[in-house]
């Protein structure tokens, strides 16, 4: 078993999942201003450090994706953030793309950038303590989108990124996100997501990426947020499994879903049902941002000194998702 495969299994094995704490400064500023907390480097670190030092880090969180600002910060205990995370038994990771920009030739779509200078940045992050990385490609859904250009360009970028990351002895998280914005049906989402994932693996194989040493981070198969044709949670789980069984090579050790605009409860329930129906060898876990943090953030904003209360809420949410990653969650367990 390769070292990269070991790292991937450590991140999402045994029901553990990923805390996506890699919000950019702009995104974090919006989240904090929504709850009336000033967005300073100190406040951004304070909230994240509360999560990183909670008990659920040891029991539930196998990896934490960080942002460039955070991975270089020093905790209140005067140690590196990567050390704080590692001490809990979780692994530090880093978002390495530089964001989605307008795609030349298709101005309504996006291409993710950040390949320039990537190898040098990765060497620095590895020295700081990062064990894995993340790169997100985004795709719109409509009658005309995602276009072949968008599908091909983003798959190529995700594959080049993955090859360079593995060369630097880290595990790449491959995140092709088909957005839930729009009026599309779940069937549309299934069809477009299948095309996107198949193209990603075509490029990953072409670039000689070791599929045993990656984690796939896809969207679940959902109807658009403005769709009049919503489907049940059972149908979400079954369609999502059908898509992944069709499109993901068996060598891939695991899949960590993004929450993609779902509520905390929806993201947990859908993950649980996916695992209750899971008849594959894939680990099916979570890589959630808002769906792990939102309730804790709202609570913390009312009294930023109430560390214990904030951690209690975060611990509960992490525990619920870890149960869901094992197909052992039920609504009765919610507070």
Instruction: Give the model confidence (pLDDT) of 110-162 as tens digits.
Output: 999 999 999 999 999 999 999 999 999 999 999 999 999 999 999 999 999 99
pLDDT at 319: 98
Please say whether the beta carbons of 130 and 173 come within 8 A. no
pLDDT at 76: 87
Q: Which residue has the higher pLDDT, 220 or 1?
A: 220
Please say whether the beta carbons of 152 and 130 come within 8 A. no
Name the DSSP letter for residue 99. -
Catalytic residue among 127, 212, 217, 230: 217
Give the residue among 28, 37, 18 at the shortest CA–CA distance from 299: 37
* Reported pTM: 0.96
For residue 1, pLDDT beyond 60: no
For residue 221, pLDDT beyond 90: yes
Q: How confident is the model at residue 17 (pLDDT cuts 50, 70, 90)?
A: very high
pLDDT at 6: 97
How far is the CA of 157 from the CAs of 154, 168, 280, in angstroms? 5, 17, 28
d(CA 265, CA 145): 29
In percent, how much of the chain has pLDDT > 90? 96
Region for 321 from its dihedrals, namely left if φ exceeds 0, alpha if ψ lies in -120 to 50, beta otherwise: alpha
Residue with tokens 């040098």: 120
Domain boundaries, the chain: 3-333
Average pLDDT, the chain: 96
pLDDT at 94: 98
**Residue 228 a catalytic site member:** no
Render pLDDT for 268-322 as a digit per residue (tens, 0 to 9): 999 999 999 999 999 999 999 999 999 999 999 999 999 999 999 999 999 999 9
Q: Which of the four CATH numbers 1.10.3210.10, 3.40.605.10, 3.20.20.70, 3.40.50.1580 does domain 3-333 have? A: 3.20.20.70
d(CA 60, CA 199): 32
Pinpoint the alpha helices (H) of the chain.
3-12, 25-34, 41-52, 56-59, 68-71, 81-87, 118-128, 148-167, 186-206, 233-247, 264-277, 290-302, 307-324
């Amino acid at each position: 078993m390769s070292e990269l495969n070991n790292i991937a299994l450590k991140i999402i094995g045994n029901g553990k999942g990923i805390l996506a704490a890699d919000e950019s400064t702009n995104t974090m500023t919006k989240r904090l201003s929504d709850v009336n907390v000033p967005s300073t480097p100190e406040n951004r670190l304070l909230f994240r450090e509360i999560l990183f030092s909670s008990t659920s880090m040891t029991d539930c969180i196998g990896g934490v994706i960080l942002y460039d600002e955070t991975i270089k910060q020093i905790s209140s205990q005067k140690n590196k953030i990567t050390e704080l995370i590692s001490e809990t038994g979780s692994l530090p990771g880093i978002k390495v793309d530089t964001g989605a920009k307008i795609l030349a030739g298709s101005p309504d779509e996006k291409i993710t950038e950040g390949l320039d200078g990537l190898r040098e940045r990765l060497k620095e992050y590895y020295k700081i303590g990062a064990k894995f990385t993340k790169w997100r490609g985004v795709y719109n859904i409509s009658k005309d989108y995602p276009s072949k250009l968008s599908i091909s360009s983003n798959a190529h970028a995700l594959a080049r990124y993955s090859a360079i990351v593995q060369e630097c002895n880290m595990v790449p998280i491959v995140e092709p996100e088909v957005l839930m914005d729009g009026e599309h049906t779940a069937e549309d989402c299934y069809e477009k997501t299948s095309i996107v994932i198949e193209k990603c693996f075509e490029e990953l194989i072409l670039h000689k990426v070791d599929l045993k040493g990656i984690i796939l981070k896809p969207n679940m198969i959902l109807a658009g947020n403005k769709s009049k044709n919503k489907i049940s949670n059972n149908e979400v789980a079954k369609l999502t499994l059908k898509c992944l069984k069709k499109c993901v090579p068996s060598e891939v050790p695991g899949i960590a879903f993004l929450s993609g605009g779902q509520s905390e409860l929806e993201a947990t329930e859908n993950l649980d049902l996916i695992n209750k129906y899971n008849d594959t060898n894939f680990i099916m876990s979570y890589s959630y941002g808002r769906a792990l943090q939102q309730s804790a953030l709202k609570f913390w904003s009312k009294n930023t000194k109430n560390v214990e209360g904030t951690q209690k809420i975060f611990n509960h949410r992490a525990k619920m998702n870890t149960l869901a990653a094992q197909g052992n969650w039920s609504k009765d367990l919610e507070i």
